[in-house]
Chains A and B, each alone.
Chain A
Amino acid sequence: MNEARDKGMTLIVKTVTRLTLGFILLYGIYIAMSGHESPGGGFAGGVIIALSLVHVMLAFGKEVALKRLHSYTVRIFVSLAALTFLYIAVVSFDGGCVPVKSFFGSIKPCEIFNNELTIPFCEMVLVGGVLYAIFIALVLLSKTDKDSE
């Protein structure tokens, strides 16, 4: 517990981060979801979510942040979001509504996506994940990190 206290930034920054982290994440999701009524959309939401994760890494140091959200998890999220995005695009090639016979009767793929939430959600996860992954890469790359001393 003592080493966790010495790494990262001062106690004030850590407390403030702990308190506001949930609000920043919620704000990012809100901006992503309300993209069709006011300026925003998936990309801006993704940037804000990435910023919240970057905030955690800056305030607490890279070991604590990476233990909570492993970089492998981030990569899986990003790949799945990208593949879902591509699937939505491919599904829309034939007009979008080719019925698919499944166990629950025949469903139409476009019905799943016929809301305003799926595409911004994918964009949000994708962009947030990518920006955070790049930040991880740059942090792991630099040698002038205070934690390594």
Chain B
Amino acid sequence: MALLPYVVAIPLGAAFLILLVGRRFKASSGVIAVSAVFCVTTLSLRIASMVATGKILCFKMGNWQPPFGIPLVADGLSALMLVIASVVGLLVTIYSVGYIRVYTDRWKYYALMMLMIAGINGVLLTGDIFNLFVCLEIASIATYALVAYGLEDESLEASFKYAVMSSVGSCFILLGIAFLYSFTSTLNMADMASTLVSHRTDKVVYFVSALFMMGFGLKAALVPFHAWLPYAHSASPSPVSAMLSGVSIKVLGIYAIARIFYNVIGITPAVQSVIITFAVLSMITGAVLAFGQKDIKRVFAYSSISQIGFIALGLGISTPLGLTGAIFYLLNHSLFKSLLFLGAGSMERITGTRDLSKMRNVIESSPLTGYATLIGALSISGIPPFGGFWGKLLIIFSCLQAGRPVLAIVAVGVSALTIAYYFKALVPALFGNDAAFRVAGIGGKRITFAMAAPMAVLAVLTAVAGLILLPGTANTLLKGSVAVLSSGIGYAESIFGAIR
């Protein structure tokens, strides 16, 4: 199955190619970037269609037999998240073609974006825990440089603080990998799972769980490790924020936590209660802090923290209904959070400011931007029939089904808060008509086709995302990913079966 490594190799090759020719031929860097991500999206759809029939795709790097070599594994969860990451990556890259025309040195942006996509695909497809760490670091380092891309004061400060906090998290992950290697003497995740089955209550496993919870929790922006997220989002260019919040914190954080705690270490009630605690803290903190913000991107950043809390709540209640709700809401949140950030970037171009008290007349200037952002906000607030409603409903029902009504009440309360701060933030900006805030010389003409098309596509996808729950290919993929997570340690046997 030589499809799998090309998903990582094509963006890497594109990054090096842009490095070579991007400075001389200025228009080529965007073309190379978009075509590379388009190839990756096609490949990932093909991989997903093959996995949806129930197979597990496995590719041994360099033909080394595991557990001595590094396998690339695409099972249900990896394939579904690969499709989401690729589609969002493609739309964000097309949007960047229009958005970063005003910056200099554009080839650097495209090269870094390609590296980030290569790293994210590597994290999703790998079956070896140290390869996970290396690809995580590739994606993270590309993100540090992308956040500092504009080279303004705020961008540099935000990038430094983000880089320091994220490096500390990576050191914790590395220490955890060292302990786990010394305990199981292997780095292959399936092999580790089968070795750890009999040792689940040893103290080393508790210590390693704590280290991984700290490290990956920092990448996922769970409270109390969330401090970097508002800085990094408000000071970076809009497509970078969309990529960070829509793909990066889910893949590098939630996917890694799910993979390691469900499939390698094995989920125990202690781990469940820790994840649920972090999730509830995240939901409440994000929602409460989003009220007082004046910058539109900070509102969206705190909202990200809150919604990641929802997803982690579904992960912590590990019933199949909870897992379905978590993964379905993760899919939806990628779509509408990137739509919201792209919309925020477009609104900034239209009105010339990010300050909510000065932002008006958006729908009047550019109906596409206004209505797309409105669809995103309706979906994230949980208004039926958009997808966000069904996701939150599934998570709340799973809390009730698991016999924890307090969590369900908290989730409902946070949903109400979400509706409140989104309407407080967006209704004056979108619908308010105030000639005093009209700035001469800018307006709806600032939105080019490259910026408008991805927003339209994402709006359509958000509106129909609820249909994934109906029986069909997408539903099969969703059920497959839930089955992977709920089989827990059974992951090891299925991987070994697929390799031979």
B5 touching A93, Cβ below 8 Å: yes
| Cα distance, A89 to B6, chains bound together (Å) | 10
Q: Tell me the smallest distance from the CB of A61 to a CB of chain B, in Å.
A: 25
Binds B, one of A18-26, A33-41, A73-81, A100-108: A73-81
B289 within 8 A of A: no
| Residues from chain A with Cβ under 8 Å of B5 in the complex | 89-90, 93
Asked if A82 meets B9 with Cβ closer than 8 Å, knowing A93-B2, A95-B63, the reply is: no
Could you give, for residues 80-118 of chain A, a 1 whenever the CB lies within 8 Å of some chain B CB and a 0 otherwise? 101100100110111100000000000000000000000
| Residues from chain B with Cβ under 8 Å of A75 in the complex | 19-20, 23
| Cα distance, A78 to B302, chains bound together (Å) | 40
| Residues from chain B with Cβ under 8 Å of A78 in the complex | 19
Our pick among A76, A92, A94, A95 for the contact of B20 (Cβ within 8 Å) is: A76
A92 touching B16, Cβ below 8 Å: no
Name the CB-closest residue of B to A95.
Answer: B63
On chain B, the number of residues with a Cβ less than 8 Å from chain A's Cβ atoms is 14
Name the CB-closest residue of A to B8.
Answer: A89
Our pick among B9, B62, B63 for the contact of A86 (Cβ within 8 Å) is: B9
| Cα distance, A68 to B59, chains bound together (Å) | 46
Q: Mark out the residues of chain B between 1 and 48 whose CB falls within 8 Å of any chain A CB in the assembled complex.
A: 2, 5-6, 9, 12-13, 16-17, 19-20, 23
B16 touching A94, Cβ below 8 Å: no
Our pick among B19, B23, B63 for the contact of A82 (Cβ within 8 Å) is: B19
A86 touching B2, Cβ below 8 Å: no
| Of listed A75, A90, A92, residue having the most chain B CB within 10 A | A90
| Cα distance, A93 to B69, chains bound together (Å) | 13
B9 touching A79, Cβ below 8 Å: no
Asked if A79 meets B19 with Cβ closer than 8 Å, knowing A92-B62, A95-B63, the reply is: yes
Majority secondary structure of chain A interface residues (helix, strand, loop or mixed): helix
| Residues from chain B with Cβ under 8 Å of A95 in the complex | 63
Majority secondary structure of chain B interface residues (helix, strand, loop or mixed): helix
| Residues from chain A with Cβ under 8 Å of B2 in the complex | 93-94
A83 touching B62, Cβ below 8 Å: no
B62 touching A82, Cβ below 8 Å: no
Q: Tell me the smallest distance from the CB of A142 to a CB of chain B, in Å.
A: 16
| Residues from chain A with Cβ under 8 Å of B6 in the complex | 90, 93
Name the CB-closest residue of B to A75.
Answer: B19
Could you give, for residues 4-33 of chain A, a 1 whenever the CB lies within 8 Å of some chain B CB and a 0 otherwise? 000000000000000000000000000000
| Residues from chain A with Cβ under 8 Å of B12 in the complex | 86
| Cα distance, A82 to B62, chains bound together (Å) | 19
Q: Tell me the smallest distance from the CB of B43 to a CB of chain A, in Å.
A: 13
A86 touching B20, Cβ below 8 Å: no
Q: Tell me the smallest distance from the CB of A51 to a CB of chain B, in Å.
A: 23
B13 touching A80, Cβ below 8 Å: no
Q: Tell me the smallest distance from the CB of A14 to a CB of chain B, in Å.
A: 33
A86 touching B19, Cβ below 8 Å: no
A79 touching B20, Cβ below 8 Å: yes
| Cα distance, A93 to B6, chains bound together (Å) | 9
| Cα distance, A79 to B5, chains bound together (Å) | 21
| Cα distance, A82 to B19, chains bound together (Å) | 10
| Residues from chain A with Cβ under 8 Å of B19 in the complex | 75, 78-79, 82
| Residues from chain B with Cβ under 8 Å of A76 in the complex | 20
Q: Tell me the smallest distance from the CB of A143 to a CB of chain B, in Å.
A: 16
Asked if A79 meets B63 with Cβ closer than 8 Å, knowing A86-B9, A89-B9, the reply is: no
Can you offer 27 A-B residue contacts whose CB atoms are under 8 A? A75-B19, A75-B20, A75-B23, A78-B19, A79-B17, A79-B20, A80-B20, A82-B19, A83-B13, A83-B16, A83-B17, A83-B20, A86-B9, A86-B12, A86-B13, A86-B16, A89-B5, A89-B9, A90-B5, A90-B9, A90-B13, A92-B62, A93-B2, A93-B6, A93-B59, A94-B2, A95-B63
Known: A78-B19, A79-B19, A82-B16. 8 other contacts (CB 8 A): A76-B20, A79-B16, A79-B17, A79-B20, A83-B17, A83-B20, A92-B62, A93-B59
On B, residues with C-beta under 8 Å from A are 2, 5-6, 9, 12-13, 16-17, 19-20, 23, 59, 62-63
Query: Which are the 5 A-B pairs with shortest beta-carbon distances?
Result: A79-B20, A82-B16, A79-B19, A83-B16, A93-B2
